[in-house]
Amino acid sequence: MLEGQSIVCFAHDFKGDPTSKTHIMRVLSRSNRILWVNSIGMRRPSASRSDLSRLASKLSRGLAGCREVERNIHVLDPLVIPLPGVGVVDRFNAMLLAAVLKRQCRRLGFRRPVLWSFLPTVGRLLEPFNGSLSLYHCVDEYAAFSGVSASSLRAMERDLVARADLVITSSEQLRDERAPLNANTHFVPHGVDVDHFAAAFHPGTRIPHDAEHLPRPVIGFFGLIADWVDRDLIRAIAAGRRDWSFLLIGKATTDLSSLRGLPNVHLVGQKPYASLPAYCKAIDVGIIPFRRNALTIRANPLKLREYLAAGLSVVSTPLPEVARYAGYVHMAEGPRAFTAAIETALSEGDEMSRRRRMEAVAAEGWEARVEEISRLIERRMGRAA
């Protein structure tokens, strides 16, 4: 395991539910010091209320300076011009951010830190910033997100991949597409907080009040409800099986009006990460109803391993990284096939089947994944030395 290093991590905003980035950095923070740089943005803000509110919040946090949010994890909100993809602005932001980071690293006592980016937009920082190693950790096809400049992001990511000392990807397809630009590209899949989700098995875990009285069976989903979630598919299945309850947990960034009129669809909003095992206890089948597109076929859904760690039967849209668990997951496309797959999954709710699913991911904890990444970093550092 990597020890005694200073790490500058470029990622999404630290607050909120933990993602793969949060899990990885929390494991590393036990023996290393982290400067987490909150998102510098991949799309230009609009005049919408949510974007203006986010800009105001970011400005306020940026003026407040760097702060230690957890042991060995410091968070910085850099103030940059939010116009990604504009050449002169990108160059100015890179110079400004490099100066701010150098000053902050001096204050924290960071000497030649590891530069670890989960974002594709920081390639220009690698040259002026004297780090011991640069790592690009690609967990999504960022150019496929809605509202971004796809051509600009692709260009910035190609630049970063070519410049980085090491590239890690969370799916094989992401690796295969980036390896021609960098021979030091490796596939390391996501992990899972095994002990956390195993709490769904514990007799003392209580089902939350907004789920405990739902008519069985309960078909559940948790995570961000964005435009890649197939709401038409969910609506068709729910309308066809009024005797099933559909429990959808998560923040919505897309229109859910098509689901709100169905009496057996329960939209309970975002819930704390700590409560997810209790909700898993209420769920009979976990679903991953993603649309198949350029984004999702390269995705490695965190919720897949979380469902399995909680012992849940799983039904998913056919996705390459989900197919790795074919013996534990049912894959189907279209309302009729998806409904039939759920029916089959409902017959696998016995204790032995649940234990088998949990054991399938028991060795895939975040510690094991970070150990794997650490070996790649140490090997690359050794070659550089």
Query: What's the structural domain count of the chain?
Result: 2
Residue 207 confidence (pLDDT): 98
Q: What percent of the chain has pLDDT over 70?
A: 89
For residues 333 and 223, membership in a common domain is answered with yes
Name every residue whose Cβ is closer than 8 Å to that of residue 74 and which is 6 or more positions away in sequence: 33, 34, 35, 36, 66, 67, 68, 108
* Contact predicate 167/135, CB 8 Å: yes
Nearest CA-CA partner of 303 in 89, 6, 4, 19: 19
- Does 326 lie in the same domain as 268? yes
Q: Range of 100's domain?
A: 6-191+365-384
- Average the pLDDT over 303-315 and give the result: 98
Q: What is the pLDDT of residue 166?
A: 98
pLDDT confidence band for 17 (50 / 70 / 90): confident
Give dist(CA 170, CA 86) in Å, integer: 29
153 vs 16: which has the higher pLDDT: 153
- Per-residue pLDDT reduced to its tens digit, 158-190: 999 999 999 999 999 999 999 999 999 999 999
Instruction: Place 46 in a pLDDT band, splitting at 50, 70 and 90.
Output: low
* Least trusted range by pLDDT, from 36-50, 57-71, 131-145, 147-161: 36-50
Is the residue at 16 inside a domain? Answer: yes
Is pLDDT above 70 for 293? yes
126 pLDDT band (50/70/90 cuts)? Answer: confident
24-38, 114-128, 185-199: least confidently modelled range? 114-128
* pLDDT tens for each residue of 225-261: 999 999 999 999 999 999 999 999 999 999 999 999 8
Pairing of strands 285-288, 218-222: parallel
Tell me the pLDDT band of 61, cut-offs 50, 70 and 90: low
Please give the average per-residue pLDDT across 263-279, as a whole number.
97
Same domain, 168 and 21: yes
Residues 277 and 136 both lie in one domain: no
- What is the domain-level CATH number for residue 37? 3.40.50.2000
Is residue 1 in some structural domain?
Answer: no
How high is the pLDDT of residue 82? 61
Judge if 118 and 33 occupy the same domain: yes
Residues 148 and 178 in one domain: yes
Over the stretch 321-368, which tens digit does the pLDDT of each residue have? 999 999 999 999 999 999 999 999 999 999 999 999 999 999 999 999
Q: Is residue 38 part of a domain?
A: yes
**Residue 94 binned pLDDT confidence (cut-offs 50, 70, 90):** confident
Asked whether the predicted pLDDT for residue 50 surpasses 70, the reply is: no
Question: Rounded to whole angstroms, how far apart are CA atoms 288 and 369?
Answer: 23
Neighbours of 87 (CB within 10 A): 8
Confidence at 63, pLDDT banded by 50, 70, 90 = very low
Q: How confident is the model at residue 296 (pLDDT cuts 50, 70, 90)?
A: very high
> What confidence score (pLDDT) does residue 44 get?
52
Separation CA 88–CA 108 (nearest Å): 30
Q: What mean pLDDT is predicted for residues 63-90?
A: 77
Note whether 202 and 313 are same-domain residues: yes
Length of the chain equals 385
Comparing 100 with 191, the larger pLDDT belongs to: 191
Residues 167 and 63 both lie in one domain: yes
Same domain, 176 and 237: no
Burial class (CB in 10 A: 0-12, 13-18, 19+), 154: middle
Please give the average per-residue pLDDT across 48-64, as a whole number: 54
Does 292 lie in the same domain as 180?
Answer: no
Give dist(CA 186, CA 177) in Å, integer. 11
Q: Please state the three-class secondary structure of the chain as a single string.
A: CCCCCEEEEECCCCCCCCCHHHHHHHHHCCCCEEEEECCCCCCCCCCCHHHHHHHHHHHHHHHHCCEEEECCEEEECCCCCCCCCCHHHHHHHHHHHHHHHHHHHHHHCCCCCEEEECCCCCHHHCCCCCCCEEEEEECCCHHHCCCCCHHHHHHHHHHHHHHCCEEEECCHHHHHHHHHHCCCEEECCCCECHHHHHHHHCCCCCCCCCCCCCCCCEEEEECCECCCECHHHHHHHHHHCCCCEEEEECCECCCCHHHHCCCCEEEEECCCHHHHHHHHHHCCEEEECECCCCCHHHCCCHHHHHHHHCCCEEEECCCCCCHHHCCCEEECCCHHHHHHHHHHHHCCCCHHHHHHHHHHCCCCEHHHHHHHHHHHHHHHHHHHC
Provide the pLDDT confidence category of residue 40 given band limits of 50, 70 and 90: confident
- How many Cα atoms sit within 13 Å of 141 on the Cβ side? 20
Tell whether 43 is covered by a domain: yes
Look at residue 160 and tell me if it is in a domain.
yes
Residue 196: CB atoms within 10 A of its CB come to: 17
